[in-house]
Amino acid sequence: MLEVVDIIIPSFHSRDLTALAISTFEKFSDGYNFRYLIVENSDNTSYKDYILGLTGKKNVYWIQNPTELINSEANAFAIEEGLKHVSSKRVFMCHNDVVACHPGWMKYMMKKMDEGNRLIGFRQDATRINALHSSGLLVDTEVARAVSMFPVYEAGNCTMDVCDSLTKYCRDNELQYFMASCTFNEAGLREKLDEKYQNLTVDIGTDDDDNPIFMHLGRGITRLFGRYSKPNRTTYNEWFDFAIKEFLQE
C-alpha cells in the first residue's frame, strides 16, 4: 500500500459532479489510500449520505461549511476549511468538475514530488502571475499551510486568484514546482491524443508520454445551474456521458 493522500473537494449543491470525481479517483487509485474531504459550501445535507457511502469504505468525510461567499472566494474558503482536517504529508486539492482518467495519475505526480518539486499542477494560467491553476494541485501540506488560499485584490483588481499564493510562495522561497503538459498551455498537444479526446473543449493534463491522466471541465457548477452560455463548448451532459463511458463502465 502506498501513502495516504488527503483530497480536498469543494462542493456546492452538486452531488453528481462531486460523485463523478470521487468515482474516477477511486477507480484509478492504483494502490494509494485516498481520504476524501468533501467541503459543502452550503447548509445542504440532502446528498451527504450518498457521498459518504459512495466508495463503500470509511474514507469519505463530509465537512459542512455554509458561506455567503461566491466564486473564487467560496472556493478558497472551502480549501482553507479542508486543510484544517488534513493529516497527510501531501494534499491534493481540486475543483469538483474534474476526473482522473489513467491509473498512473497520482503516481505520476508523486514521482515529480520525489524529484524535488513541492507543488504539481495540470494547468498554468496566462493571466495575473501565471500561477498553477486550482483545478488540480498536489502540494506539500507544509507549503499549503504557509499561505492563504484567498484571492488578492489591489486597487480593485484581482492580482492573484484562489491558490495562486502557492506558486508565489514556491517562487519567493526558491522551491521547485512542476506543471504537467496540458492542452490549455501546449499548442498541438490535443492533436497528439487519441481521437476520442479531439472534440472535448476541456483542459486535458498528460504525463510525459502524452497519456491523458487528468481532465477539468471548467465552470462545472455554473454549467450545472444553466448559467454558462459560451457556444461550441463541451456541455455538462457530454462531460458525464464521456467520463462514465470511457472511465467507469466495465
Q: What is the pLDDT of residues 47-103, one digit of tens each?
A: 999 999 999 999 999 999 999 999 999 999 999 999 999 999 999 999 999 999 999
pLDDT tens column, 126-163: 999 999 999 999 999 999 999 999 999 999 999 999 99
In this predicted structure, what is the pLDDT of residue 248?
Answer: 97
Tell me the average pLDDT of the chain.
Answer: 97
In this predicted structure, what is the pLDDT of residue 1?
Answer: 61
Q: Transcribe the chain into DSSP letters.
A: ---EEEEEEEESS-HHHHHHHHHHHHHT-TT-EEEEEEEESSS--TTHHHHHTSSSSS-EEEEE---S--HHHHHHHHHHHHHTT--SSEEEEE-SSEEE-STTHHHHHHHHHHTT-SEEES-B-SSTT-PBPTTEEEEEHHHHTTS--S-EEETTEEEE-TTHHHHHHHHHTT---EE--BTTTSTTHHHHS-GGGTT--SEEEE-TT--EEEEE-SSHHHHHTT----TTS--HHHHHHHHIIIII--
In the chain, the percentage of residues whose pLDDT exceeds 90 is: 98
In this predicted structure, what is the pLDDT of residue 2?
Answer: 76
| Structural domains in the chain (count) | 1
User: Does 8 reside within a domain?
Assistant: yes
Note the Cα 192 to chain centre separation in Å: 23
User: Does 242 reside within a domain?
Assistant: no
User: Does 167 reside within a domain?
Assistant: yes
Q: Can you tell me the mean pLDDT for 17-45?
A: 98
CATH number of the domain bearing residue 60: 3.90.550.10
Report the C-alpha gap between 246 and 198 in whole angstroms.
Answer: 14
User: Does 245 reside within a domain?
Assistant: no
33: containing domain = 4-237
User: Does 147 reside within a domain?
Assistant: yes
In this predicted structure, what is the pLDDT of residue 3?
Answer: 85
User: Does 249 reside within a domain?
Assistant: no
In the chain, the percentage of residues whose pLDDT exceeds 70 is: 100
User: Does 246 reside within a domain?
Assistant: no
User: Does 244 reside within a domain?
Assistant: no
In this predicted structure, what is the pLDDT of residue 132?
Answer: 98
